[in-house]
Every structure is written in structure tokens, then in C-alpha cells.
Amino acid sequence: MNVFRVLIAQTRANFQWYFLRDGEMIFWSLAIPVFFLFIFSYALGGGNTKQTSTFLIPGLIGAQVLSSGFWGVGAMLATFREKKLLRRIYLTPIPPWTFFASLVLYRMSLLALQAMVLAFFGSLVFHVRFAGDPGSIALILLLGAATFVSLGTVIGAVVRSTESANNIASVLTVPLAFLSDAYIPIDRFPAAIGNTLRLLPSTQFIDAFRGISMHGASLASYGPWIGILCLWTIAGTAVSARYFRWV
């Protein structure tokens, strides 16, 4: 068995089964972020839609990173377990991590697609410019994805039922996006609250991603936050590895 071949085949299958053939999924993962971009840019832009959308685009992509981790991987794993799909995979000779990796790869490809679609509308309609270095943008995006996939997997590892996993994923994704500088600039909050919100890994990731992608900041200038995100990733991975069950 060629593990690499299986990984590619399973990733393609995931993309087809859980995205291309699922109208609801297309709506929520592509149409809604674009809708948000337009609504928020016009409603909150106060005439300066370019500045607003420059703020919003990395926020919307960042929110999708959270959602990929919590929903796309975490709640999905719990669903797969409850539907007794994981146990069937577990009995095949593929290394179990291959299945997990294919789920992550599928969400990463979807994330790349979401980012491109948002960037496309941003530059076409609002003349947004991406000042960042493409390599650095990719790296910070990957680190964020790793962090929230590992934290999301904790949900998949600890929570038994699909319903609670979905509820936890929603509770984490939606309010966090509003509190983590994704849609609302954090300095609109009173200083004490703002400073607390800056402790969230989601805030740190979205700020670093925004600085690097839109304002051309270097990875090094976000060094401490990148370090903290790495620690969250390690912690999430350790907890998931300890508690994850296939059956």
C-alpha cells in the first residue's frame, strides 16, 4: 500500500463528498464569508470600503481557520465516530493518522479556496492590496491552521456525541470570531476587555495574519505570538493524542 496515494485519494474523496456534493456546505463556507465581506464593508466602512475590507479580509479568512479546526476537523471527527464510520476505517490497514491527515488536508484545500475567493472579491471590488510576502503569509496561515486543528481535535477526542460536538464548535467559532479582532477591531472594546481578548490564541493569530498579509510585517515581528501559538498546538496535540478513541 502506498500511503501517499491513499492520502491523496482520501483527501480528494473528502473534498467531493463533504464539500462539492453538499450545497449547505458550499453556502456556509463560500457564500456566507463573501456576503459578510460585502455587507460589513459597506455597512461599517463609512465610505472607506477599501480600508474596511483590508481589515475584514484577513479577519474573515482567520474566522474560517477557526471554523476549519473546530467544525471541519473537531466536530467532524465526533460525527464520524458516532456514525460508526471511524471504526470501519480503523479496521482497514491504512495507518490511522492517514485518515486524520486527509481530513486536515481537505480542510486546508478548502481554506485555500476560501482565501482565494475572498482575496479575489477584495481586490476586484474593493481594490485591496496584499502587501505581505507570499511565503510568510502561507506560513502564518499554516501555523494558525495547525493550532486550531489541534485544538479542534480535542473536541473530537473528548466529546462523545455529534450534537454536543457541534454545539461546542459553534459556541467556540462564532463568538470567538467576534471577540478576536476578526470582524470588529479590538480597540473598539474598553481597554481592560481588549487586553484580555488579546490573550486569546485566536486574537493573536488573526492579528499576526493581518499584519503579515496586509501590512507586510515580518514573521519575526510576531515572534512571541508565533511561539505562543506553537505551544497551544503542542498542548492540543498532546491532549488529543492522549484521549482520542476510534471506536
Partner 1 sequence: MSESAIAVTDLVKRFGEVVAVDGISFDVAPGTIFGLLGRNGAGKTTTLETCIGLTAPTSGQVRVLGLDPTRRRDFDRLKRKIGVQLQATSLPEKAKASEILELYAAYYGVPARTKELAERVGLEDKLDRFVGKMSGGEQQRLSLALALLHDPEVVFLDEPTAGMDTFGRRILWGEVERLKAEGKTLVLTTHYIEEAERLCDEICIVKGGRVVARDTAPALVAKYGGDAVVDFAARGFAIDASLERVGRWNQKGDRWQVFVHGEPGHALAAIVSHANALGIVIDDLDLHRPGLEDAFIAITGEALDEDLGAIARPAA
> Which residues of the shown chain bind partner 1 in the complex (CB under 8 A)?
1-2, 5-6, 9-10, 13, 16-18, 21-22, 83-85, 87-88, 90-94, 247
Q: At its nearest, how many Å lie between partner 1 and the CB of residue 19?
A: 10
Q: At its nearest, how many Å lie between partner 1 and the CB of residue 82?
A: 10
Q: At its nearest, how many Å lie between partner 1 and the CB of residue 76?
A: 11
Q: At its nearest, how many Å lie between partner 1 and the CB of residue 93?
A: 5
Beta carbon nearer to partner 1, 17 or 97: 17
Written as nine digits, the cell of 52 is: 474596511
Beta carbon nearer to partner 1, 22 or 116: 22
Beta carbon nearer to partner 1, 21 or 129: 21
Minimal CA–CA distance to 9: which of 117, 111, 92, 112? 92
Beta carbon nearer to partner 1, 40 or 71: 71
Written as nine digits, the cell of 190 is: 474598553
Minimal CA–CA distance to 231: which of 175, 159, 147, 161? 147
Instruction: For residues 92 and 99, give the distance between their C-alpha atoms in angstroms, rounded to a whole number.
Output: 11
Written as nine digits, the cell of 175 is: 463568538
Q: At its nearest, how many Å lie between partner 1 and the CB of residue 246?
A: 9
Burial class (CB in 10 A: 0-12, 13-18, 19+), 191: exposed
Beta carbon nearer to partner 1, 84 or 188: 84
Instruction: For residues 145 and 93, give the distance between their C-alpha atoms in angstroms, rounded to a whole number.
Output: 28
